[in-house]
Amino acid sequence: MKTIDDFNFENKKALIRVDFNVPLDENYKVTDATRIEAAKPTILKVLEDGGSAILMSHLGRPKNNEPEFSLKNIADSVTEIIGVQVKFVSDCTGEEAEKATANLEPGEILLLENLRYHKEEEAGDTAFAEELSKLGDIYVNDAFGTAHRAHASTTIIAQFFPEKKCFGYLLAKEIKSIDKVLNDNESPVLAILGGAKVSSKITVIENVLDKVDDLIIGGGMAYTFIKAQGGKIGSSICEDDKQDLALEILKKAKEKNVNIHLPVDVIAADDFSEFANTQIEDIYTIADGWQGLDAGPKSLENFAKVVSNSKTILWNGPLGVFEMEPFAKGTIALGNAIADATANGAFSLVGGGDSVAAVKQFGFENKVSYVSTGGGAMLEMLEGKELPGIAAIRD
């Protein structure tokens, strides 16, 4: 795996694919700079070697080059975080971009305009990728969040740098962390899968059954498993057409000696609202008109025991509707259990949009081993797929 450490960037222009697809407020100010901070070590390595950095990214899903999707909006935040004045150019290819990169001195940073202002980016257009490639000497992919897309700047461009392409620190770390969970792990290995739908996690479950000793299934998707086994789940969320699949997963897990842990009790509510009436219910006998919105106290006790016995932990998906305060206790308790296990030497990887949001909201970010920056990309790696953005660097 060629990383940025395999190159010296002295007097070289590094063309770095970053993931600066960050949230902005109504005044186009960055509200969460995590992704910019994550790219900082890679950018600084280039500058410290005596090279210059050309940053390319997408932002949002522009249809007509709308100004709210211009990367110019984030240039000040990038300057502030990296600690070096960032120059901006209002295109990512063509005469203007070529002139701006040609004039770039060692130690300088140039931010290109939104790649998705060109439809050729998402189309994976070779000619567009070649235009981009003219801007730098060495191609660095540090955008894990888009590594599962075969776009011009994430995948196609690599062919124009046969010997001069590598992973940035962030992307290398992501690959190593997921590999540590799936292949290079210490037993017992635990996967915790939450969230609303079984359907979005089927392939992940199927792939991890060969790698784990224990699997906790929580969140909304637990109810499909409970109903499939004859439980009464009231008005709880359920994918009726996935019940057979749930039974099949339970059967496969048994064959592979994987212990599946489902909630035994829940915090049920008479309405999907934080002002609803709540009561603790056995998960197999939830009353009509009530829905489970969080794991109950006995479930949390059981889960904490499994977590504390584990040496490798993957967490993807919350245990309840943590956005509402009355139904956040399960996710917080799970976070605390994982933090304790990590402090005692376990390796813990958290990934997936909702889990990452929960980890940040409740202050667990520095209490787990690694927080992944890419939701879709991480899920595809957990499914056992080779991501095009990663394969392009390895080729």
Q: Is residue 393 part of a domain?
A: no
- List the structure tokens of 395: 């080729």
Q: Is residue 115 part of a domain?
A: yes
* CA 172 vs CA 107, 232, 246, 392, 394: distances in Å: 23, 46, 34, 14, 12
On whether the CB atoms of residues 80 and 57 are closer than 8 A, the answer is no
**Residue among 394, 391, 338 nearest 362 (CA):** 338
Q: What percent of the chain has pLDDT over 70?
A: 100
Mean pLDDT along residues 118-140 = 97
From the CB of residue 165, how many other CB atoms can be counted at a distance below 10 Å? 21
Q: Are strands 291-295 and 265-269 parallel, antiparallel or unpaired?
A: antiparallel
Kindly report the pTM of this predicted structure. 0.88
pLDDT digits (tens, 9 = 90+) for 63-111: 999 999 999 999 999 999 999 999 999 999 999 999 999 999 999 999 9
Catalytic residues: 35, 197, 353, 376
Nearest 10 degrees: Cα torsion 282, 287, 293, 297? -20
> Domain ends where: 144, 170, 196?
170
pLDDT digits (tens, 9 = 90+) for 282-302: 999 999 999 999 999 999 999
Q: Is residue 62 part of a domain?
A: yes
Query: Looking at residue 288, which CATH number applies to its domain?
Result: 3.40.50.1260
Q: Is 201 annotated as a binding residue?
A: yes
pLDDT digits (tens, 9 = 90+) for 348-366: 999 876 888 899 899 999 9
Q: What is the structure's pLDDT at 377?
A: 86
Q: What is the structure's pLDDT at 353?
A: 65
Strand, helix or coil for residue 388: helix
Whose tokens are 């971009």? That residue is 97
Across the chain, what does the average pLDDT equal? 95
Same domain, 211 and 162: no
Q: Is 19 annotated as a binding residue?
A: yes
Q: How confident is the model at residue 198 (pLDDT cuts 50, 70, 90)?
A: confident
**Measured distance CA(206)–CA(215) in Å, rounded:** 11
Q: Is 59 annotated as a binding residue?
A: yes
Q: Is 354 annotated as a binding residue?
A: yes
Q: Is 145 annotated as a binding residue?
A: no
Residue 326 belongs to domain spanning: 185-382
pLDDT digits (tens, 9 = 90+) for 14-55: 999 999 999 999 999 999 898 999 999 999 999 999 999 999
On whether the CB atoms of residues 193 and 317 are closer than 8 A, the answer is yes
Decide if pLDDT at 318 tops 70.
yes
Same domain, 236 and 285: yes
Same domain, 270 and 150: no
Q: What is the structure's pLDDT at 81?
A: 97
Same domain, 98 and 48: yes
Q: What angle do CA 339, 264, 243 make, to 5 degrees?
A: 105
